[in-house]
Amino acid sequence: MSFRSRLRPVKRALAPAVERVWHGAFAIAGKMRGPSVRAWSSAGGQDVLVLAPHPDDEAIGCGGTVLRHIAAGDRVTIAIATDGRRAGALPDPARMAAQRHVEATNAAKLLQATQLEWLGLPEGEWPVTRLRDALGPLLARKPAIVYAPSRVDFHPEHHKVAHALALALQALPASQPMPTLRVYQVQVPLTAVLVNLVSDLASVRDESNAALCAHASQIGSIECTFRRRRYSALLHGIDGEAEEFWELPAPRYVELHRDTPDTWQGHYRGLRNLPFTDPLSWWVGIDGRRKLLAPSALPGSA
């Protein structure tokens, strides 16, 4: 047995104590932050589109908020862009994709989504134009709100999906009202620099966590989502768990994402499976996040 293997159970035993330390730090940070951000709410009766790069990103990024939309009387369509075949939990990519389709279907039922659109592009092997074209009919339904990934991420597939969405939004007829975009977090925190909307998950906590666990093949990488939700709650003085979003107009989202991802600047870090370095995910890339609020200083958005 390697040294790393022997160390793993020790690290897992220490993890709860380390997380308690970070809880204290995030609680203090929450008390020190400026004016509270807007609390999520919905008047009901709206069409909502959730765009997920992979099966599980919908549950990770905004699963609890999907449940709140449904409870408020909104209609929610979840669109899964890729089939997740490169996850590695199974050696055969086709079997992995099939497993993740099943998991996404089960999660969508637990989230009570109105509709699941399995676009199922082969992970890592699809052109941006293909997703752009597939999103056209979904956007033609005129959703009022679109939940989406962004360039505040390190995953190339997430970047490609954000770019494809920007191109699809840009191609909408001038006569069609543009939706409001809400950028969600996968494992990279948006931080106080960008967060302007927070959703308290107290009323849907068990259901949203069950939807996360429905992605059983990915549960190891999903573990950090529970911590991030707890940290988010502490930052906003909420008891329990919360989801944070960056709400922005669709034209601004297009401006930030219409150029190819290879022109984007900014280095970001996601939460790891264990909590030892969690605060670094909020610190690394802080300047890149600030630049997103300064259009004149934004590289790769001209």
pLDDT in tens, 74-85: 999 999 999 999
pTM of full prediction above 0.85:
yes
pLDDT at 270: 96
In a domain, 127, yes or no: yes
10-residue mean pLDDT series, the chain (302 residues) = 76 94 96 88 98 98 98 98 95 97 98 98 97 98 98 97 98 96 97 97 98 96 95 97 98 97 95 96 96 69 38
In a domain, 28, yes or no: no
pLDDT at 297: 46
Q: Which domain holds residue 126?
A: 42-295
pLDDT at 301: 41
Secondary structure of the chain in the HEC alphabet? Answer: CCHHHHHHHHHHHHHHHHHHHHHHHHHHHHHHCCCCCEECCCCCCCEEEEEECCCCHHHHHHHHHHHHHHHCCCEEEEEEEECCCCCCCCCCHHHHHHHHHHHHHHHHHHCCCCEEEEEEECCCCCCHHHHHHHHHHHHHCCCCEEEECCCCCCCHHHHHHHHHHHHHHHCCCCCCCCCEEEEECCCCCCHHHHCCEEEECCCCHHHHHHHHHCCHHHHHHHHHHHHHHHHHHHHCCCCCCEEEEEEEEHHHHHHHHCCCHHHCCCCCCCCCCCHHHCCHHHHCCHHHHHHCCCHHHCCCCC
pLDDT digits (tens, 9 = 90+) for 203-229: 999 999 999 999 999 998 899 999 999
Q: How many domains does the chain have?
A: 1
In a domain, 159, yes or no: yes
In a domain, 152, yes or no: yes
pLDDT at 4: 73
In a domain, 265, yes or no: yes
In a domain, 3, yes or no: no
Query: Which CATH number characterizes residue 111's domain?
Result: 3.40.50.10320
pLDDT at 7: 79
In a domain, 15, yes or no: no
In a domain, 300, yes or no: no
